[in-house]
Amino acid sequence: MRAPRSPLVPRERALQRLGIFTWVSLTAALGLIFFVAREADVTMGGQLQRIFYFHVPAAWAAYLAFAVVFLGSIAYLRTGARRWDLLAHSAAEIGVVFTSLVLITGPIWARPVWGTWWEWDARLTSSLVMWLTYVGYLLLRGLSTDPARTGRLAAVVGLIGFINVPIVHFSVQWWRTLHPSGPAVAAIDRGSGLGGPELAAFFVSLIAFTLLFAWLMATRIRLGRLSDRVEQLEVAA
């Protein structure tokens, strides 16, 4: 008898379609970023400001991932069901990938514009703390051989770690920081903010990164299920 299919594991064809949509939208975003969006004001880095169209969507995808870790952790602590642990684990891994992209592209923009790679201001520091928290979450999972204990511990970290996510997001409003906020980051001319072509590039990139997150999640969950199956066979052997 076949094991019932988890609702979290999409069918193979749906996964392939999602992958195609993701790569088509990423290609469209690249076209809009480089051929449609206009060059920004020199105070925002001129051509270099185009990093914004990947930097912000990557940060958005990281927030989304850590929100999934948070919800998956709550569900796991309530039910103890392995599928929620796998959901949270997968999202944490993908969130760390996206946060790494944010932490790499940010300093590359900052070096020529601010004259420094890094400033210990509220946004940058809280982002680094967020990255370290979830790297810690992933390391923690490798420390114990008891999956239930590891799952519970990781879920507690996933719950507590999420406290930092709104701090990262609102840090530019709560404290005085060097980091730009809102539409100013994409100012084409001083004070004009985002124009139509720039908004199109930004939102298509945002959609593309959301699809990329969903596709990576589905792929990572499928991998986790496969890993569970192999482990069960190894234990039974």
Partner 1 sequence: MSDLAWLFIAFSAVWVGLGLYLFSLGSRQRDLERRLREFEEGP
Is residue 105 a contact residue for partner 1 (CB under 8 A)? yes
Residue 199, classed as helix, strand or coil, is helix
Select from 78-86, 175-183, 186-194, 218-226 the region that touches partner 1 (CB under 8 A).
218-226
**Nearest-angstrom CA–CA distance, 112 and 216:** 32
Distance of closest approach, residue 27 Cβ to partner 1, in angstroms: 12
Closer residue to partner 1 in complex, CB, 88/96: 96
Distance of closest approach, residue 112 Cβ to partner 1, in angstroms: 6
Q: What is the 3-state secondary structure (H, E, C) of 116-181?
A: CCCCCCHHHHHHHHHHHHHHHHHHHCCCCCCHHHHHHHHHHHHHHHCCHHHHHHHHHHHCCCCCCC
Select from 107-115, 142-150, 168-176, 185-193 the region that touches partner 1 (CB under 8 A).
107-115
Is residue 27 a contact residue for partner 1 (CB under 8 A)? no
Distance of closest approach, residue 76 Cβ to partner 1, in angstroms: 22
Is residue 60 a contact residue for partner 1 (CB under 8 A)? no
Give me the DSSP letters along 24-86: HHHHHHHHIIIIISPPPPGGGTGGGGGGHHHHHHHHHHHHHHHHHHHHHHHHHHHH--HHHHH
Closer residue to partner 1 in complex, CB, 46/166: 46
Closer residue to partner 1 in complex, CB, 159/178: 178
Distances (CA, A) of 12 to 16, 163, 218: 6, 35, 10
Near partner 1 by CB under 8 A: residue from 20, 104, 143, 163: 104
Closest CA to 89 of 4, 11, 175, 147: 147
Rounded to a whole number of angstroms, the distance between the first and last alpha carbons of the chain is 19
Distance of closest approach, residue 226 Cβ to partner 1, in angstroms: 5
**Nearest-angstrom CA–CA distance, 13 and 122:** 44
Select from 4-12, 173-181, 184-192, 225-233 the region that touches partner 1 (CB under 8 A).
225-233
Kindly list the residues in this chain that would bind partner 1 in the complex (CB under 8 A): 45-48, 50-51, 54, 58, 97, 100-101, 104-105, 108-109, 111-112, 212, 216, 219-220, 223, 226-227, 229-230, 233-234, 237
